[in-house]
Amino acid sequence: DKIRAERSDIKTSAVKSSVAKPTPTIGVIMGSDSDLKTLVPGLKLLRDYFGIDPEVDITSAHRTPEYMAEYASKAASRGIKVIIAAAGGAAHLPGMAAAHTALPVIGVPVKGSALDGVDSLYSIVQMPRGVPVATVGINNSINAALLAVRILGSYEPALQRKVEEYANNAKSENLDIKGIKIR
Ligand code: RP5
């Protein structure tokens, strides 16, 4: 129920954003709604810190291959600049999305129940030459979000400044472990 509420919250904000705000520049896709809880930290960071409402959708390389291909091949023409794709197990979604678009694709390996996410990591990271996917750590949707804003920030100075601000804040937070300043 919590996941459903989070999903509907995200979908609602995506719908609102299409009315009130510019076209989303980040497309976030996942292979199953069971992946959503892994993506929520990254989605919240994008929305709450960077003020970006990404487009969020569910599509699977295996269960909805036609929709997956259509989504990826039309993303650039709809204004999407970066795709974040999360999947677990035989995690073919990021690679298949990359095969259908020239946009940068960031893959998030999702930890499933059987093989601790190593299966997802290997499935995503071991792409053949010519079809790159930028792979982040297992379940690390925060880094996927940060990589996406770094890509957008390379041509949006205000966003790049926000990325620098985030990095500076992270530096000072790291110095404070359980209340003890280490330097
Ligand atoms: C993958 O299979 C999805 O990305 C998900 O991580 C995994 C399990 O999917 P469900 O069986 O939970 O729908 O395609």
Max CA separation in the chain (angstroms): 54
Secondary structure of residue 23 in the 3-state scheme:
coil
pLDDT at residue 22, as a whole number: 74
* CA Rg value for the chain: 16
Give the residue with greater pLDDT, 150 vs 3. 150
Domain 2-156 falls under CATH 3.40.50.1970: yes
In the predicted model, what is the mean pLDDT of residues 14-42?
A: 84
Q: How far apart are CA 100 and CA 68, in angstroms?
A: 9
Residue nearest to atom 12 of ligand 1 (CA): 34
6 backbone dihedrals φ, ψ, rounded to 5°:
-65, -40
Quick one: which atom of ligand 1 is closest to the CA of 61?
14
State yes or no: pLDDT of 140 exceeds 60.
yes
pLDDT at residue 171, as a whole number: 81
pLDDT at residue 17, as a whole number: 46
State yes or no: pLDDT of 180 exceeds 80.
no
Is-contact 123 101, C-beta < 8 A?
no
Sign of CA dihedral 58, 63, 69, 70: negative
pLDDT digits (tens, 9 = 90+) for 47-56: 999 999 999 9
Q: Supply the mean pLDDT for the chain.
A: 89
State yes or no: pLDDT of 106 exceeds 90.
yes
- Pocket around ligand 1: residues whose beta carbon is below 6 Å from it? 30-32, 34-35, 60, 87-89, 110, 112
Residue 17, number of CB atoms within 10 A of its CB: 17
Q: Which residue intervals of 35-127 are DSSP H helices?
A: 36-44, 65-75, 93-99, 118-125
Sign of CA dihedral 61, 44, 20, 104: negative
Q: Is this structure's pTM higher than 0.90?
A: no
pLDDT at residue 19, as a whole number: 52
- Sorted by where each begins, the domain ranges of the chain are 2-156
In the predicted model, what is the mean pLDDT of residues 72-76?
A: 98
* Helix axes of 36-44 and 2-20: crossing angle, nearest 10 degrees: 50
Q: How far apart are CA 133 and CA 130, in angstroms?
A: 10
With the most atoms of ligand 1 within 8 angstroms of its CB, the residue from 35, 92, 110 to mutate is 35
Which ipTM value was assigned to this complex?
A: 0.97
H helices then E strands: how many in the chain? Answer: 7, 7
With the most atoms of ligand 1 within 8 angstroms of its CB, the residue from 34, 37, 39 to mutate is 34
pLDDT digits (tens, 9 = 90+) for 111-123: 988 899 999 999 9
Per-residue burial over 91-106, b if 16 or more Cβ lie within 10 Å, else e, is bbbbbbbbbbbebbbb
